[in-house]
Amino acid sequence: MEKILVVDDEQDVRELIKNSLKKEYDVTDCENIKDTDLDSLKRYDLILLDVMLKENDGFGICIKIRDLVDSPIIFLTARTMEEDVDYGLSVGADDYLRKPFSVNELRARVRAHLRREKREHQSVLVRDEVRFYLKKRDVYYGDVPISLTSSEYDILLLLAKYPGQVFSKEEIMKIFMVTKKTEMIQPLQSM
């Protein structure tokens, strides 16, 4: 069951949202984000965040937590000016729902964002006509697949990630030695 965090300083709004979503989702609510450990935000699949909180500004909170969480953030707010919507989306929110809102619209937007998160993400890096499909470790020039060894792929990807930067042979070797050590350590940490 997906986990949703509702941050709103109005108890009635939190209760309405919680009651509307609790049949399908595990919903936690709080009056302010400061009541929540920032590391614990990573466990939520979606965050519903009010903009006008008593002690904090939802825009500022979004800026602060956006790098910590990958989950969608939906603003719920009475601030309906177009500039507010533009600003809210520019600071990292995925959606902006104006109060008063329809419970059915809230459910539909939550479902849509969670459905989008479940899709397999195709991580692609594009440099001019060269495309790197990061999960599959495939490289294409236009529509033509390029056959590379694992090491060739790694070096080409490094150069594509840092265009214009020059690496010595020693720097490349050092980068890959550190990367391999990190990959070996990560499975141990998850045990």
Do 146 and 114 lie in one domain? The reply is no
> In this structure, are 154 and 61 located in the same domain?
no
Among candidate residues 98, 118, 138, the one where a domain is terminated: 118
Q: In this predicted model, which residue has the larger pLDDT, 26 or 184?
A: 26
pLDDT at residue 178 in the model:
62
Residues 82-113: tens digit of each pLDDT: 999 999 999 999 999 999 999 999 999 999 99
- Same domain for 38 and 112? yes
In tens, the pLDDT along 118-145 reads 865 568 888 888 999 888 889 999 889 9
Residue finishing a domain among 86, 118, 150: 118
Quote the number of domains for the chain: 2
Domain CATH code at residue 136: 1.10.10.10
- Return the DSSP state at 71: S
Are residue 51 and residue 81 in the same domain, yes or no? yes
At which of 58, 85, 118 does a domain end? 118
Statement to judge: residues 58 and 86 lie in one domain: yes
Do residue 150 and residue 183 come from a single domain? yes
pLDDT bucket at 186, cuts 50 / 70 / 90: very low
Residue-wise pLDDT for 34-88, tens only, equals: 766 777 898 999 999 999 988 788 999 999 898 888 899 999 999 889 999 999 9
Domain that holds residue 8: 3-118
Residue partners of 151: CB distance under 8 A and separation at least 6: 176
Structure tokens at 32: 């302010």
Let me know whether 96 and 35 are in one domain.
yes
Domain with 29 in it: what CATH number? 3.40.50.2300
Q: Are 95 and 109 in contact (CB under 8 A)?
A: yes
The neighbour count for residue 68, using CB atoms within 10 Å, is 12
Q: For residue 147, what pLDDT is reported? A: 94
- Residue 56's closest CA among 93, 30, 28? 30
SS3 label, residue 5: strand
